[in-house]
Amino acid sequence: MRIVGLAAVLAALMPGPSATARDIVSSDIYPSSFPTVRATAYMGDLIRERSGNRLVLSNLGADSQQSENYTLAQLRNGNLDMARINLNTLNGAVPATLVLTLPYLIRSSEHERRVLDGPVGEEILASLESTGVIGLGFFDGGARSTYGTKPIRSPADLRGVKYRVQPSSIWAPMLRALGAAPVPMSQSRVPAAMRAGAIDAADGTWSTFVTLKHHREATSFSLTEHARPPSVLLFSRRVWDTLSPEDKSIIRTSARDSIVFYRQLWNEHEAAARRETEAAGVLIVSDIDHDAFARAFAPFHPAAVSDPQLRSLIERIRTDAP
């Protein structure tokens, strides 16, 4: 009896989920090993610790197998608490998000992180609230480059290329004007489409190129580094409005702290993905005419973003200096 009593006391002292713990369900299209999912899990550890086990975050990861447009709808109607989605998914609903996806506007990872962490990033996050979501922070996603069945070194090389684009992407008219044939489709269809010759090219970062197994079909990876659209960590506004001020603060600060953790993971993941690409025998094309690409895409900035306030954001990003 004394042993049973001692065990009961020890069990009571052990940390664990509270009977009144609130579960926060998050979603991501990438597997559990991907930096965004690992960073969200780290955020969950911080939330649990800081809330004294009152808030417990669970991540669906790639198990959800849903499109990001579907995920966004689930956030808006309150059926999902939190999600990490690509910023491009919000371009139609929140015009300000277009600014961060424009080609050859952000010059480097350092420039991107400075913009995302500064006033421009805060303004864009705040603009999301009117669409039914709360923007908690950005996960910068590295430079997107072109890969496929032929090297791309200059804008002229795009002529006649069947180029995969995200549905409703602002890239479609830009590519069409440069002589390419944009083909809207989901990322999951790229390998089969490239194998069948339905597309010649697509774009992505080192990490997504390898994580999604596109390096098994593409024969070249051209370092065009044409855009650096981040992903964004979102919370359902319907759910957010039911939280206490204390819990909102815990979630916000934990999200911000997870970004620091994420960036270290991302740098390591990108380097490993490049090594795997090289080992797979994919041709890495580095002699890119970036100036020619920048000149070719620059005229599309005003066309993509016509609002004066958003054009001001573009100018602030362009003139940003360390």
Q: Give the residue with greater pLDDT, 159 vs 31.
A: 159
Q: How far apart are alpha carbons 258 and 84 in whole angstroms?
A: 13
pLDDT given for residue 277 in this prediction: 97
Enumerate domains of the chain plus CATH numbers: 21-141+230-272 (3.40.190.170), 144-228+275-307 (3.40.190.170)
Are residues 116 and 140 in contact, defined by beta-carbon separation less than 8 angstroms?
A: yes
The mean of the pLDDT values for the chain is: 89
**What's at 129, amino acid-wise?**
E
What is the mean predicted confidence (pLDDT) over 101-121? Answer: 93
| pLDDT of 208 higher than 50 | yes
| pLDDT of 84 higher than 70 | yes
- Which 3 state secondary structure label does DSSP give 236? strand
Nearest to residue 29, comparing CAs of 83, 92, 79, 73? 83
pLDDT given for residue 65 in this prediction: 53
pLDDT given for residue 56 in this prediction: 96
pLDDT band at 45 (very low <50, low <70, confident <90, very high): very high
What is the mean predicted confidence (pLDDT) over 87-96? Answer: 88
What is the mean predicted confidence (pLDDT) over 211-230? Answer: 95
| pLDDT of 225 higher than 50 | yes
pLDDT above 90 covers a percentage of the chain that reads: 74
Q: How far apart are alpha carbons 263 and 112 in whole angstroms?
A: 12
pLDDT given for residue 281 in this prediction: 97
Nearest to residue 205, comparing CAs of 141, 269, 121? 141
pLDDT given for residue 291 in this prediction: 95
Per-residue b or e along 250-287, where b marks 16 or more CB atoms closer than 10 Å to that residue's CB:
bbeebbebbbebbbebbeebbeebbeebeeeebeebee
Q: How far apart are alpha carbons 17 and 321 in whole angstroms?
A: 47
What are the residues facing 285 on neighbouring strands?
A: 222
Q: Give the residue with greater pLDDT, 186 vs 14.
A: 186
Q: Give the residue with greater pLDDT, 84 vs 187.
A: 84
What is the mean predicted confidence (pLDDT) over 266-285? Answer: 96
pLDDT band at 155 (very low <50, low <70, confident <90, very high): very high
pLDDT given for residue 88 in this prediction: 85
What is the mean predicted confidence (pLDDT) over 172-176? Answer: 92
DSSP-assigned states of every residue in 111-179: HHHHHHHSHHHHHHHHHTGGGTEEEEEEE----EEEEESS---SGGGGTT-EEEE-TT-THHHHHHHTT
pLDDT band at 2 (very low <50, low <70, confident <90, very high): very low
DSSP-assigned states of every residue in 92-121: TT-GGGGGGGSTT-S-SHHHHHHHHHSHHH
Show Cβ contacts of residue 1 under 8 Å, excluding neighbours closer than 6 positions.
Answer: none
What is the mean predicted confidence (pLDDT) over 274-286? Answer: 97
